[in-house]
């Protein structure tokens, strides 16, 4: 998805790159929250933090005097290798501005912009003229020198022989067993002869990849090494050498060495696959992922593992262990979240004969005996018949269940089935009566995995608004002195824009009869785990997080704009989509999408209710920013969020009534 890069670059314009998103680990969200929730309900005291008086910074007031200030480029003289420059500055909102021979856009914040002013090679003088409504005029001239592109790293000729050190693979330590494939190689002077070897073994040829388009030597030297049977050796690096090809073009005139060497930073060890290597999860909620990816908000989560889970390690890459879940099925955990199990610890195996299903006041309970600490994954999904379902995958388990005891007190759970999906892989499927799941939680207690499936709230009957009596938890993204979020082009802070939006949203929801819980009050900065905890402790029905987006401005300040919504789990999609549709209809903002499988911690971890996130518009776009700072526009935008929520609830209410 094209938009993805802008989404993940979302906070990068902040002077402090969002400490919270990276600091908070999923493990801080413990299944014990369920216990806290029950305790909170019993005491009737959902904890609300003391309110801190906080008035968000007022929108930057236009200067009293008529001024013309440059923000980009900030200096009167600058250099670039691009063939254009984006001009951004500040003046009076009622002024007109010309940049070069064209009019610039001026916004209510006083910010003016003209993107992609073309540059000729060499010196470019660009005149910027602002004219106030009363005829006063100010002029600035910026000089931008366009230089030539830097020369490519390696020219395809017999130039000085070199291996690009940072390109040498493997860059991280790897542990491999028989049949694994190790990709190794480097980038260097094209058209030469490369070789590699492990430790003191013989040198092996390392072929050069030819460029697919030109069929010229690419300077990429690559090989895939397949680990043979019986390999068992401690970590050692891979050595590479690049020798001058005898008949390389330009060879006669070349000088310098005829061979260069390099060593991989990563050490490669071969593991005997017959040995059993077990690690024990030390941190509650350690993440088990499908694969290794450098994703800003975290990789593709498969599960959060309880402390004590035993995992079989079959490989290593950098700081991660490869885990065998079942034959042919792997996952990855961070080395920081586990310890080696004591020698002689047996590989756990799970088999249970009974499952118990019954109802309690707020939720149905599905209790599965969990007598061996095998890894498992709980995932909300949809059944082929369109009903909501929750799947529990156990690895290192076999199907022995013969006693599924379904009590009459269960209201939302329709059927529980057990299936041996593959060797060592058992799936318990909890199917609901309804199409809509309203939330779930799981906890391991007393050798049992207990899944609480939430019952739907009683929606007020028509003609009353279905919002009446519902509890909605709101998060104003970021907060505090060190967590501003993105920074707007005029200097506004995302935490303030979010605060103002959420206060307006709370007012409108309350006017419609809903009860509001703000998980972040004033300008405080609770951890993301604490925000989730507050929403759950209040037993909210819905969770809405409000942020503002930001994108890189290299190609222009007005290039990326629009409003977008986000959810993690499929059962939150329709709710999120309903708000997205109203935002588009009522704000006139560009469409930046309704985005699924989004890993922002609060909407991923908070499965006890429907959770979604609104990225109002772009702080990095002067037009979007001016709108978000306009109280009238804000009111309209939050109205759209309320109407979208109401649309979705009305649809659910109508379906339930049929």
Residues within the interface to Zn ion (CB under 5 A): 477, 485, 547
| Distance in Å, CB of 10 to Zn ion, minimum | 7
| Distance in Å, CB of 484 to Zn ion, minimum | 9
| Distance in Å, CB of 59 to Zn ion, minimum | 18
Distance, CA of 357 to CA of 441 (rounded, Å): 15
| Distance in Å, CB of 549 to Zn ion, minimum | 8
Concatenated DSSP letters for 602-643?
A: HHHH--SSEEEEEEEEETTSHHHHHHHT-HHHHHHHHHHHHH
Distance, CA of 518 to CA of 501 (rounded, Å): 12
- Cis status, amide bond into 170, omega within 30 of 0: yes
- Cα 288 to chain centroid, rounded: 15
The residues, any chain, with a CB within 8 Å of residue 45's CB and separated by 6 or more, are: none
| Distance in Å, CB of 477 to Zn ion, minimum | 4
| Distance in Å, CB of 602 to Zn ion, minimum | 11
Please identify which residue in the block is written with the tokens 């260097």. 188
| Distance in Å, CB of 486 to Zn ion, minimum | 6
Q: Report the SS3 class of residue 348.
A: coil
> Closest CB to Zn ion belongs to which residue?
547
Distance, CA of 412 to CA of 456 (rounded, Å): 8
The nearer residue to Zn ion, 499 or 547, going by C-beta atoms, is 547
For 349-413, the three-class secondary structure string (H helix, E strand, C coil) is CECCCEEEEEECCCEEEEEEECCCCCCEEEEEEECCCCCEEEEEEEECECCCCCEEEECCCCCCE
| Distance in Å, CB of 596 to Zn ion, minimum | 18
The answer to whether 301 and 599 are in contact (CB under 8 A) is: yes
The nearer residue to Zn ion, 375 or 485, going by C-beta atoms, is 485
The answer to whether 504 and 462 are in contact (CB under 8 A) is: no
Burial 214-239 (b: 16+ CB within 10 A, else e): eeebbbbbbbebebeeebeeeebbbb
The nearer residue to Zn ion, 312 or 547, going by C-beta atoms, is 547
Distance, CA of 286 to CA of 280 (rounded, Å): 11
Distance, CA of 117 to CA of 128 (rounded, Å): 12
The nearer residue to Zn ion, 170 or 485, going by C-beta atoms, is 485
Please identify which residue in the block is written with the tokens 């068992």. 232
The nearer residue to Zn ion, 21 or 410, going by C-beta atoms, is 21
Q: In Å, how far are 165, 185, 290, 299, 508 from 208, measured between CA atoms?
A: 17, 9, 32, 32, 64
The nearer residue to Zn ion, 479 or 522, going by C-beta atoms, is 479
The nearer residue to Zn ion, 352 or 600, going by C-beta atoms, is 600
| Distance in Å, CB of 547 to Zn ion, minimum | 3
Nearest to 352 by CA among 313, 406, 402: 402
The nearer residue to Zn ion, 477 or 644, going by C-beta atoms, is 477
3-class SS shares of the chain: helix, strand, coil, % to 5:
20, 35, 45
Distance, CA of 49 to CA of 364 (rounded, Å): 30
| Distance in Å, CB of 406 to Zn ion, minimum | 44
The nearer residue to Zn ion, 520 or 547, going by C-beta atoms, is 547
| Distance in Å, CB of 48 to Zn ion, minimum | 23
The nearer residue to Zn ion, 297 or 307, going by C-beta atoms, is 297
| H or E, element range at 550 | none
| Distance in Å, CB of 485 to Zn ion, minimum | 4
The nearer residue to Zn ion, 436 or 490, going by C-beta atoms, is 490
| Distance in Å, CB of 594 to Zn ion, minimum | 17
- Cis status, amide bond into 386, omega within 30 of 0: no
Backbone phi and psi for residue 394, each to the nearest 5 degrees, phi listed first:
-105, 135
The nearer residue to Zn ion, 466 or 477, going by C-beta atoms, is 477
The nearer residue to Zn ion, 539 or 616, going by C-beta atoms, is 616
């Amino acid at each position: 998805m094209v938009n993805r890069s802008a989404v993940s670059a979302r906070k990068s314009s902040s002077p402090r790159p969002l400490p919270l998103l990276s600091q908070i680990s999923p493990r801080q969200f413990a299944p014990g929250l369920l216990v806290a929730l029950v305790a909170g309900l019993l005491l009737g005291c959902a904890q609300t933090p003391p309110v801190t008086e906080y008035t968000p910074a007022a929108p930057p007031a236009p200067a009293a005097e008529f001024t013309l200030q440059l923000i980009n480029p900030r200096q009167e003289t600058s250099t670039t290798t691009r063939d254009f420059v984006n001009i951004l500055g500040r003046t009076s909102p009622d002024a007109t501005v010309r940049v070069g021979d064209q009019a610039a856009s001026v916004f209510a914040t006083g910010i003016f912009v003209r993107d992609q002013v073309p540059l000729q090679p060499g010196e470019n003088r660009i005149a910027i003229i602002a004219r106030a409504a009363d005829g006063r005029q100010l002029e600035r001239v910026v000089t931008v020198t366009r230089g030539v592109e830097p020369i490519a790293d390696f020219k395809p000729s017999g130039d000085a022989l070199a291996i690009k050190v940072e390109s040498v693979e493997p860059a991280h330590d790897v542990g491999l067993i028989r049949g694994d494939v190790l990709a190794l190689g480097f980038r260097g002077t094209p058209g030469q002869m490369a070789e590699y070897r492990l430790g003191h073994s013989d040198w092996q040829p390392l072929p050069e990849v030819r460029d697919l388009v030109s069929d010229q030597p690419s300077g990429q030297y690559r090989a895939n090494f397949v680990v043979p049977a019986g390999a068992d050796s401690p970590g050692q690096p891979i050595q590479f050498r690049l020798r001058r090809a005898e008949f390389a073009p330009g060879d006669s005139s070349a000088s310098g060495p005829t061979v260069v060497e390099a060593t991989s930073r990563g050490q490669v060890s071969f593991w005997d696959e017959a040995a059993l290597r077990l690690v024990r999860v030390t941190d509650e909620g350690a993440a088990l992922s499908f694969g290794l990816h450098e994703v800003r908000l975290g990789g593709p989560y498969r599960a959060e593992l309880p402390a004590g889970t035993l995992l079989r390690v079959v490989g290593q890459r950098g700081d991660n262990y490869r885990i065998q879940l079942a034959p042919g099925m792997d996952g990855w955990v961070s080395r920081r979240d586990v310890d080696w199990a004591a020698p002689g610890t047996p590989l756990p195996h799970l088999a249970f004969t009974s499952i118990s299903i019954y109802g309690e006041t707020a939720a149905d309970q599905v209790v599965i005996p969990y007598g061996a600490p095998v890894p498992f994954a709980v995932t909300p999904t949809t059944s082929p018949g369109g009903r909501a379902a929750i799947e529990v995958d156990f690895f290192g388990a076999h199907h022995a269940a013969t006693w599924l005891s379904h009590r009459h007190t269960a209201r939302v759970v329709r059927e529980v089935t057990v299936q041996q999906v593959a060797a060592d892989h058992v799936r318990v499927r909890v199917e609901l009566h309804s199409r809509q799941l309203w939330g779930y939680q799981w906890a391991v207690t007393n050798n049992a995995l207990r899944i609480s499936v939430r019952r739907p709230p009683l929606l007020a009957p028509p003609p009353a608004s279905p919002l009446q009596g519902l509890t909605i938890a709101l998060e104003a993204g970021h907060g505090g002195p060190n967590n501003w979020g993105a920074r707007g082009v005029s200097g506004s802070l995302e935490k303030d824009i979010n605060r103002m939006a959420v206060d307006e949203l709370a007012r409108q929801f309350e006017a419609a009869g809903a009860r509001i819980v703000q998980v972040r009050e004033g300008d405080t900065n609770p951890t993301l785990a604490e925000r989730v905890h507050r929403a759950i402790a209040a037993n909210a029905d819905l969770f809405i997080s409000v942020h503002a987006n930001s994108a890189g401005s290299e190609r222009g300040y007005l290039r990326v704009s629009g409003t977008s919504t986000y959810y993690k789990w499929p059962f939150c999609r329709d709710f999120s989509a309903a708000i997205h549709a109203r935002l588009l209809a009522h704000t006139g903002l560009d469409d930046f999408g309704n985005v699924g499988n989004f890993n922002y911690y609060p909407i991923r971890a908070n499965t006890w209710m429907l959770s979604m996130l609104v990225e109002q518009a772009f702080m990095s776009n002067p037009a979007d920013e001016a709108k978000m700072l306009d109280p009238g526009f804000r009111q309209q935008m939050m109205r759209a969020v309320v109407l979208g929520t109401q649309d979705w609830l009305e649809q659910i209410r109508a379906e339930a009534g049929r």
